[in-house]
Amino acid sequence: MDSGDHAPEGFSGKLRADLKTASLRNRIVASLLLVAAWSGCGRAKHDGILPPDQELDAALQPAALVSGLRRLSGAHFHATASFRVSAADASNAGGRDAIATTTDLWIDKQGNFRLAENNDQDGGREVVRVGSELAVALRYGKLIRRPAQDPEPQRFLEEAVGAPSAAWDTVRRFVEVVPAGSRAFRLSKAVQARAAPATATALRKWRETVDVQTLVGDARLDASGGLQAFALASRFRAVRDGTPIEGEIAVAASVEQGADPVTMPAAETLPVRQRTVLEERVLLGGLGGRTPALPPSSRKGTGGRRSVEGTGPGQGNSGQPRKPPAAKLPAIGKKETP
């Protein structure tokens, strides 16, 4: 009985020890898994995975947008943008600025591009770059072809794709970005705005006073982080030059892969003026008190003397009245002939 009574007690103690060991082991394994998960998250962040708002920050930069279009080996960028600003005071009917622009940009596999841009103010431009040549024309004007000089072509491209970035930059502090599927995002007004960044120039100072009233939009990126689609509409209030203003922004942009080869259209060459120094002498000679020398043929009859403008009877070389010559006295011992 004694041995039978002690056997269950020994078995129970051993079981408790095994359970304690297993529990300790499980705790260690769980701790290691947490450390591994934390380390993995840290590595993912360092590997370039950014929060959604920072991803859009990077994708909407004009230089990044141009790089993304080139990476597609042929692409078409289309955008419509409407910006309106008016005085908050309804009585100030003249304080209104508004413009709506439509932009189309085609880049082919060779990096050649064609830009067509028009606005509702009867303005616009066309820019074509093929190889080392660039053709530019304002709306209703003739295309003028000339050599392309860096960094002008890159500047044209960044200006063409700049509407999404301009809209985003104006209301950036108030945007909340929420994932809405694979590489898709939904944009809305944040509950609390971020602090205004330091303003680089006085012209952008008014943006620190922006107060967004409404904001909706969406965006989509490709696998490499390039922009595929973007739309944003917002109403805001601000103060510019001490005047309260109200504004509206509506921008929509899309990128489609594929573009036909860009060729140079018929364009006039930029005339190159030669011998400008000689023309300058002819047109400006004699100004500032300097008179060019006359050719030899015009010196005949002047006794080899240089004819100076501003001289003549009764005037000296300086243009001042000439003193009359002194009267000659008769020679002594000679009688004047009547």
Which tens digit of pLDDT belongs to each residue from 195-220?
877 766 778 888 889 999 999 999 99
Mean pLDDT (whole number) for 98-111: 96
Ordered by start, the domain boundaries in the chain are: 20-46, 53-268
| Average pLDDT, integer, range 155-160 | 97
Kindly state the percentage of the chain with pLDDT values over 70. 67
Residues 6+ apart with CB under 8 A from 253: 77, 78, 79, 80, 161, 163, 164, 227, 229, 230, 231
Whole-model pTM? Answer: 0.67
Instruction: Decide if pLDDT at 35 tops 60.
Output: no
List the one residue out of 139, 54, 82 whose CA is nearest residue 253: 82
Q: Which of 3-17, 68-82, 244-258, 287-301 has the lowest mean pLDDT?
A: 3-17
Comparing 132-146, 217-231, 232-246, 277-291, the range with the smallest average pLDDT is: 277-291
pLDDT for residue 25 is more than 80 = no
In terms of Cα–Cα distance, which of 128, 207, 133 is closest to 160? Answer: 128
The answer on pLDDT for 281 being more than 50 is yes
Question: Which pLDDT belongs to residue 39?
Answer: 40
Report, as an integer, the average pLDDT of 120-141: 96
Q: Would you state the pLDDT for residue 201?
A: 78
pLDDT tier for residue 43 given thresholds of 50, 70 and 90: very low
Rounded Cα distance between 119 and 58, Å, is: 27
pLDDT in tens, 71-81: 999 999 999 99
Evaluate the CA torsion angle 60, 66, 71, 72 in order and state its sign.
Answer: positive
Kindly report the backbone phi and psi dihedral angles of residue 186, in degrees, each rounded to the nearest multiple of 5, phi listed first. Answer: -110, 135
Residues 6+ apart with CB under 8 A from 62: 157, 158, 159, 161, 162, 165
pLDDT at residue 323, as a whole number: 57
Least confident segment among 34-38, 145-149, 279-283, 308-312: 34-38
Q: What's the pLDDT score for residue 319? A: 52
pLDDT band at 38 (very low <50, low <70, confident <90, very high): very low
HSE-up of residue 281 (Cα within 13 Å, Cβ side): 7
The CA-based angle 139-145-148, given to 5 degrees, is 110
Q: Order the strands of the 184-189 sheet from edge to edge.
A: 175-179, 184-189, 211-221, 227-240, 243-257, 75-87, 96-107, 113-119, 124-130, 133-138, 144-147, 268-269
Return all residues near 210 (Cβ < 8 A) that are at least 6 apart. 170, 171, 173, 174, 236, 237, 238
- pLDDT over 80 at 221, yes or no: yes
Q: How much is the pLDDT for 30?
A: 53
Least-confidence region, from 39-53, 122-136, 247-261, 268-282: 39-53
**Percent above pLDDT 90 for the chain:** 54
Average pLDDT over every residue of 180-195? 92
Q: Tell me if 200 sits within 8 A of 159, measured CB to CB.
A: no
5: DSSP letter: H
Tell me the average pLDDT of the chain: 79
